[in-house]
C-alpha cells in the first residue's frame, strides 16, 4: 500500500499543506501526478507531492495517526505534469508572493492539465486519422479501388477525411490493403509566413547587441524610443541563442500584440515557434503546451502565464513593453511576470531583457542603481523624426468646435486632411462604450451596478448598460426606475460614441473599432489590426489596447481624444499611466517615410504627465515622477503589500482586519507604515465582505518574515480568508 502526500485544489492559506491519502490500486503514481480524492465529502483534484510505500494496512495506519485516512479514488495522469525545474520555480514563486502553492501550480498549467476539478472536463489530445498503404497487391480489386490504393501509395500518407469516396476507403481498410495511423493534431492554425531576410542593423542596434553579448549581467533594460527597432534586436539576439542550442521565451503584454510578434518570429524561425496566450481555446493551449513540453520547438511567444512554459534549457527571456500592467496577475498568486522571469532565468543561467519606450519607474530605478544593465536606442530607424505634437486645451473656448462636442477644431481639421491625403489616423480614448453614464433629468437617479455601486456605461450597439468593473449587464430602460420620468440623459463618451461622431462628420470615412468589447469575440483583434494594416479602413478607434507596440506605416495622425481619464484616479501610478498612454500613442504616428502628427486633447494642458508625454521626454518625466514618489513615500522608494481579508460575516472580517493592523503595527514598529483597514472600492463580491490593509516598508526581507508569520497565524482563524498582494498596482 502507498501513502501519498497531496496538495488539494482549494487555494487558501489555511489548506496550504500536504494531506495524506492511501492508494491500493495498481496504476502508476508518482510525484507530479494529479489524483482524484475526497475532501469534506466532495470529490476534488489533488496534486501529488510524494509517494512512499508502507507495510501497514489502513487500520494500523489510522490507529497510529489517530484519524481516518481516505483512499485515492483515481490517478489522473500517466506522467508528471511539471519538471523538477518548474516545481522548484513554483516553490520559489509561492514563497516570494506568500501565495498558496496550489494557486501557483494552477497558474502555471493550462486548463486541461491544471490541478482542479474543471480540468476533468477539459479537452484531451486530438488526433488526425491518416491512411497509409499496407499491401499493394491489386489482385481482385475493382478499378476504382486500385485507383485509390495507387493514390495512397504515391502520397504515402493521406488524411482520411480528405478522401471523398468513403465506401471505397472502408472497403480497402476491410481488405487490409491500407491501415489507419493516428497523429496528434495541432489545433492552433499558424499562418504560413514566408522567411524574410533580416534588414541591415542600424548602428545603434549593432551597438546594443554587441554590448549585450559582451556583458555577463543577468537582467537588461532596453530603453528604446518608439520606432527604434527593438523587435529587430530581439530577433537578432534570439537567432544567436538558438544557434547555441538554447531556447527563447518571448513575452508580450497583451493578446493584441501577439499576432505581430508572432509574424516576426515565424518569418524568422518557422516551425520552431509555439504560441501561448489567454485567447487560445483550451484545446489549442493544450496542444501548444505539449508541443513545448515535448521539446518540439524552442521559441515560445505568449502573454503573462507563458513565463511558465515548459521550455528546457532557456537562454533568453524577453519581456516586450515591460511597463504594461497586464504582466501583473490581479488574482492570487498576484505574481508579476518580470519577477518570475528573473527567478526562472537564474535557474537556467539565462539572460533577461526588459524592453520599453517608457520603462516602468521600478525598472528604470533599478537600472539607475545598476541592478539592471541599461541599454538604449535613442534614434528612430532611418532617423525618422518624432511626430509633431500639439496639445489642445479644452478649457479654452477658442479651441472648441461648436458643431462637435468631441473633436476640437484642430483635431477635426487634421482628420479631414488625413482623409484627403488617403493616409490613416488612430483615435484613442481610455474608455470603451458609448457614454459613461445614464441619469434621470427629473430626479437625478444614476444607473449603477448593484454589486460595484459605480455608474454603468451605456453601449449603443446592443442597447445595454454594462459595468466596466464586473460583468454585470442590463438592458437600457426607457424610464427612470425611481420617478418613471422618460427624460434619461447620457453623458460622457467612449469609443462607440467617437465612432458615431466620425461617421456624422466624415460620412465617407471607413472606420474600425477595437476595445475590449469588440475583443470579446475571439480572433477579432488580429483581424481588425490586420484589416487596418492593409488599409481597409481610414480610421482606427480604440482604447489603450491599440496604443502600444503596433507598427502601422501609413498612420500620420494620432488623436488622443481625452488624455485626462485616469489622471484623477486616486492611484499613485496614475501619472505614470497617463504619460505612458500619451507617449505610446504619439509613437504610433509617422513611423515610415511620412512625418506624423499627434493631437492631444486635455483639460489639464500643463500637467507634467501630459506635456512630457507629448514631447516623449521619458528622462525628464522619470526624474520628476521619482521626486513625487519620494515625497509621498511610494514605490520605487518603498515597498508595498496589500492584504485583503474576506469572509461571509462582515463583523468577523472587520474584527480580523483590526486585529491584523494591531499585529502588524506591533511587529513592524517603526520599520513599516500600516494603513487601514479600509473598505475597498468594491467591498463585496457575491456573499464575501472585504477589507484591505496596506503595508509600506523599506526593508524587504524583514517585511517578508513578518508577513509570512502573519499569514500563518491569521489564516487559521475560522470564517475569514486572507489574500496577500505583494507590489500591488491599484492603491
Footprint of ligand ADP (CB under 6 A): 199-202, 205, 224, 226-232, 381, 551
Grid cell 457614454 — which residue? 435
- The region of 266-274, 340-348, 433-441, 530-538 touching Zn ion under the rule CB under 5 A is 433-441
The 3 state secondary structure assigned to 399-446 is HECCCCCCCEHHHHHHHHHHHHCCCEEEEEECCCCCECEEEECCCCCE
Residue 449 sits in the site that holds Zn ion (CB under 5 A)? yes
Which alpha helices (H) appear in 200-253, and where do they start and end? 203-214, 230-243
- Pull the grid cell for residue 405: 462636442
Q: How far is 672 from 664, CA to CA, in rounded Å?
A: 9
Mask of contacts with Zn ion, 671-690, x by CB under 5 A? --------------------
Q: Give the nearest distance from C-beta 495 to Zn ion in angstroms.
A: 19
Q: Which does 443 bind (CB under 5 to 8 A by kind): ligand ADP, Zn ion, none?
A: Zn ion
Q: Which does 82 bind (CB under 5 to 8 A by kind): ligand ADP, Zn ion, none?
A: none
Q: Give the nearest distance from C-beta 32 to ligand ADP in angstroms.
A: 39
Q: Which does 480 bind (CB under 5 to 8 A by kind): Zn ion, ligand ADP, none?
A: Zn ion
Residue 469 sits in the site that holds Zn ion (CB under 5 A)? yes
Q: How far is 276 from 693, CA to CA, in rounded Å?
A: 35
The 3 state secondary structure assigned to 248-312 is EEEECCCHHHHHHHHHHHHHHHHHHEEEECCCCCHHHHHHHHHHHHCCCCCEEEECHHHHHCCCC
Closest CA to 514 of 547, 549, 536: 547
Q: Exposed/middle/buried for 67, CB within 10 Å: 0-12, 13-18, 19+?
A: exposed
**CA dihedral of 40, 44, 50, 55, whole degrees rounded to 10:** 60
Compare residues 198 and 450 and give the one whose CB is closer to ligand ADP. Answer: 198
Q: Which of residues 200-259 bind Zn ion (CB under 5 A)?
A: none
Which of 43, 137, 482, 712 binds Zn ion (CB under 5 A)? It is: 482
Compare residues 224 and 315 and give the one whose CB is closer to ligand ADP. Answer: 224
Q: Which does 231 bind (CB under 5 to 8 A by kind): ligand ADP, Zn ion, none?
A: ligand ADP
Q: Give the nearest distance from C-beta 448 to Zn ion in angstroms.
A: 9
Would you say the C-alpha torsion 496, 498, 501, 506 has a positive or negative sign?
Answer: negative
Which of 440, 558, 562, 645 binds Zn ion (CB under 5 A)? It is: 440
Q: Give the nearest distance from C-beta 434 to Zn ion in angstroms.
A: 18
Which of 146, 371, 483, 523 binds Zn ion (CB under 5 A)? It is: 483
Which of 39, 472, 639, 663 binds Zn ion (CB under 5 A)? It is: 472
With a CB cutoff of 8 Å and minimum separation 6, the contacts of 504 are none
Q: Give the nearest distance from C-beta 472 to Zn ion in angstroms.
A: 4
Secondary structure class of 723 (helix, strand, coil): strand
Compare residues 260 and 300 and give the one whose CB is closer to ligand ADP. Answer: 260
Q: Which does 202 bind (CB under 5 to 8 A by kind): ligand ADP, Zn ion, none?
A: ligand ADP
Q: How far is 229 from 380, CA to CA, in rounded Å?
A: 7
Q: Give the nearest distance from C-beta 517 to ligand ADP in angstroms.
A: 27
Q: How far is 79 from 34, CA to CA, in rounded Å?
A: 9
- The region of 118-126, 419-427, 449-457, 684-692 touching Zn ion under the rule CB under 5 A is 449-457
Give how far Cα 604 sits from Cα of 245, 581, 582, 598, Å.
Answer: 53, 15, 13, 17
Compare residues 65 and 569 and give the one whose CB is closer to Zn ion. Answer: 569
Pairing of strands 720-726, 639-647: antiparallel
Q: Give the nearest distance from C-beta 479 to ligand ADP in angstroms.
A: 50
Q: Give the nearest distance from C-beta 135 to ligand ADP in angstroms.
A: 54
Compare residues 75 and 467 and give the one whose CB is closer to Zn ion. Answer: 467
Asked if residues 598 and 614 have their Cβ atoms less than 8 Å apart, the reply is yes
Which of 393, 451, 516, 638 binds Zn ion (CB under 5 A)? It is: 451
Q: Give the nearest distance from C-beta 359 to ligand ADP in angstroms.
A: 13
Grid cell 459605480 — which residue? 454
Grid cell 507495510 — which residue? 55
Element (H, E) at 346: helix 337-348
Q: Which does 232 bind (CB under 5 to 8 A by kind): Zn ion, ligand ADP, none?
A: ligand ADP
Compare residues 314 and 480 and give the one whose CB is closer to Zn ion. Answer: 480
Q: Give the nearest distance from C-beta 459 to Zn ion in angstroms.
A: 14
Mask of contacts with Zn ion, 388-427, x by CB under 5 A? ----------------------------------------
- The region of 199-207, 478-486, 499-507, 524-532 touching Zn ion under the rule CB under 5 A is 478-486
Compare residues 359 and 676 and give the one whose CB is closer to ligand ADP. Answer: 359
Closest CA to 318 of 224, 391, 387: 224
CA atoms in the 13 A half-sphere facing the CB of 623: 4
Residue 485 sits in the site that holds Zn ion (CB under 5 A)? yes
Residue 445 sits in the site that holds Zn ion (CB under 5 A)? yes
Q: Which does 65 bind (CB under 5 to 8 A by kind): Zn ion, ligand ADP, none?
A: none
Q: What are phi and psi of 673, to 5 degrees?
A: -115, 125
CA atoms in the 13 A half-sphere facing the CB of 173: 13
Q: Give the nearest distance from C-beta 231 to ligand ADP in angstroms.
A: 3
Q: Give the nearest distance from C-beta 322 to ligand ADP in angstroms.
A: 12
Which of 452, 512, 541, 657 binds Zn ion (CB under 5 A)? It is: 452
Which of 443, 569, 620, 685 binds Zn ion (CB under 5 A)? It is: 443
- The region of 137-145, 354-362, 483-491, 562-570 touching Zn ion under the rule CB under 5 A is 483-491
CB atoms within 10 A of CB 210: 10
- Pull the grid cell for residue 497: 460614441
Q: Which residues are near Zn ion by CB under 5 A?
A: 440, 442-443, 445, 449, 451-452, 467, 469-470, 472, 480, 482-483, 485
Amino acid at each position: 500500500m502507498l501513502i501519498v502526500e497531496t496538495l488539494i485544489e482549494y487555494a487558501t492559506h489555511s489548506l496550504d499543506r500536504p494531506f495524506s491519502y492511501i492508494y491500493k490500486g495498481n496504476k502508476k503514481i508518482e510525484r507530479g501526478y494529479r489524483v482524484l480524492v475526497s475532501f469534506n465529502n466532495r470529490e476534488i483534484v489533488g496534486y501529488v507531492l510524494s509517494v512512499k510505500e508502507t507495510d501497514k494496512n489502513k487500520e494500523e495506519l489510522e490507529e497510529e495517526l489517530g484519524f481516518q485516512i481516505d483512499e485515492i479514488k483515481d490517478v489522473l495522469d500517466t506522467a508528471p505534469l511539471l519538471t523538477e525545474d518548474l516545481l522548484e520555480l513554483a516553490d520559489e514563486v509561492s514563497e516570494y508572493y506568500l501565495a498558496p502553492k496550489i494557486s501557483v501550480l494552477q497558474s502555471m498549467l493550462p486548463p486541461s492539465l491544471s490541478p482542479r476539478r474543471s480540468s476533468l472536463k477539459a479537452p484531451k489530445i486530438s488526433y488526425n486519422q491518416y491512411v497509409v498503404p499496407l499491401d499493394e497487391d491489386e489482385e481482385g480489386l475493382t478499378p476504382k479501388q486500385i485507383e485509390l490504393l495507387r493514390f495512397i501509395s504515391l502520397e504515402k500518407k493521406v488524411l482520411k477525411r480528405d478522401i471523398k469516396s468513403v465506401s471505397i476507403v472502408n472497403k480497402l481498410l476491410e481488405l487490409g490493403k491500407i491501415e489507419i495511423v493516428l497523429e496528434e493534431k495541432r489545433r492552433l492554425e499558424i499562418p504560413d509566413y514566408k522567411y524574410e531576410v533580416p534588414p541591415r542593423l542600424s548602428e545603434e542596434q549593432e551597438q546594443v547587441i554587441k554590448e549585450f553579448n559582451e556583458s555577463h549581467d543577468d537582467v537588461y533594460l532596453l530603453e528604446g524610443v518608439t520606432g527604434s527597432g527593438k523587435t529587430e534586436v530581439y530577433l537578432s539576439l534570439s537567432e544567436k541563442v538558438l544557434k547555441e542550442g538554447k531556447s527563447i521565451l518571448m513575452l508580450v503584454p497583451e493578446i493584441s500584440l501577439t499576432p505581430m510578434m508572432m509574424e516576426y518570429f515565424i518569418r524568422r524561425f518557422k516551425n520552431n515557434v509555439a504560441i501561448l496566450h489567454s485567447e487560445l481555446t483550451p484545446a489549442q493551449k493544450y496542444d501548444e503546451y505539449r508541443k513545448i513540453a515535448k521539446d518540439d520547438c524552442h521559441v515560445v511567444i505568449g502573454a503573462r502565464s507563458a513565463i511558465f512554459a515548459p521550455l528546457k534549457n532557456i537562454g533568453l527571456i524577453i519581456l516586450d513593453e515591460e511597463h504594461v500592467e497586464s504582466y501583473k496577475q490581479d488574482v492570487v498568486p498576484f505574481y508579476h511576470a518580470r519577477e518570475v522571469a528573473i527567478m526562472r532565468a537564474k535557474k537556467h543561467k539565462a539572460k533577461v531583457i526588459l524592453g520599453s519606450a517608457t520603462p516602468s519607474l521600478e525598472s528604470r530605478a533599478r537600472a539607475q542603481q545598476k541592478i539592471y544593465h541599461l541599454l538604449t536606442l535613442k534614434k528612430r530607424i532611418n532617423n525618422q523624426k518624432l511626430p509633431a505634437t500639439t496639445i489642445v486645451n479644452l478649457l479654452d473656448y477658442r479651441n472648441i468646435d461648436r458643431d462637435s462636442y468631441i473633436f476640437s477644431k484642430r483635431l477635426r481639421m487634421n482628420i479631414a486632411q488625413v482623409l484627403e491625403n488617403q493616409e490613416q489616423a488612430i483615435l484613442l480614448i481610455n474608455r470603451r462604450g458609448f457614454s459613461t453614464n445614464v441619469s434621470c433629468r427629473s430626479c437625478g437617479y444614476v444607473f449603477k451596478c448593484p454589486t460595484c455601486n459605480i455608474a454603468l456605461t451605456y453601449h449603443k450597439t446592443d442597447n445595454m448598460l454594462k459595468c466596466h468593473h464586473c460583468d454585470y449587464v442590463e438592458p437600457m430602460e426607457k424610464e427612470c426606475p425611481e420617478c418613471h420620468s422618460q427624460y434619461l440623459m447620457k453623458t460622457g463618451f467612449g469609443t462607440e460614441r467617437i465612432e458615431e461622431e466620425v461617421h456624422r462628420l466624415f460620412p465617407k470615412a471607413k472606420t474600425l473599432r477595437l476595445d475590449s468589447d469588440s475583443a470579446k469575440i475571439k480572433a477579432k483583434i488580429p483581424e481588425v489590426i490586420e484589416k487596418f494594416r492593409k488599409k481597409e479602413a481610414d480610421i482606427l478607434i480604440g482604447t489603450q489596447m491599440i496604443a502600444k507596440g503596433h507598427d502601422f506605416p501609413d498612420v500620420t495622425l494620432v488623436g488622443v481624444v481625452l488624455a485626462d481619464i485616469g489622471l484623477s484616479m486616486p492611484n499613485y501610478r496614475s501619472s505614470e499611466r497617463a504619460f505612458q498612454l500619451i507617449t505610446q500613442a504619439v509613437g504610433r504616428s509617422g513611423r515610415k517615410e511620412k512625418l506624423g502628427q499627434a493631437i492631444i486633447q486635455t483639460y489639464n494642458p500643463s500637467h507634467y504627465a501630459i506635456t512630457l508625454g507629448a514631447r516623449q521626454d521619458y528622462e525628464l518625466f522619470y526624474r520628476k515622477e521619482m521626486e513625487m514618489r519620494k515625497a509621498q513615500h511610494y514605490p520605487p522608494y518603498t515597498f508595498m503589500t496589500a492584504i485583503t481579508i474576506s469572509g461571509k460575516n462582515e463583523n468577523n472580517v472587520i474584527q480580523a482586519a483590526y486585529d491584523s493592523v494591531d499585529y502588524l503595527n506591533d511587529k513592524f514598529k517603526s520599520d513599516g507604515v500600516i494603513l487601514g483597514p479600509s473598505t475597498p472600492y468594491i467591498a463585496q463580491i457575491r456573499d464575501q465582505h472585504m477589507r484591505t490593509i496596506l503595508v509600506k516598508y523599506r526593508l524587504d526581507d524583514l517585511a517578508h518574515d513578518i508577513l509570512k508569520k502573519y499569514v500563518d497565524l491569521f489564516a487559521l482563524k475560522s470564517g475569514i480568508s486572507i489574500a496577500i498582494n505583494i507590489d500591488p498596482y491599484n492603491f
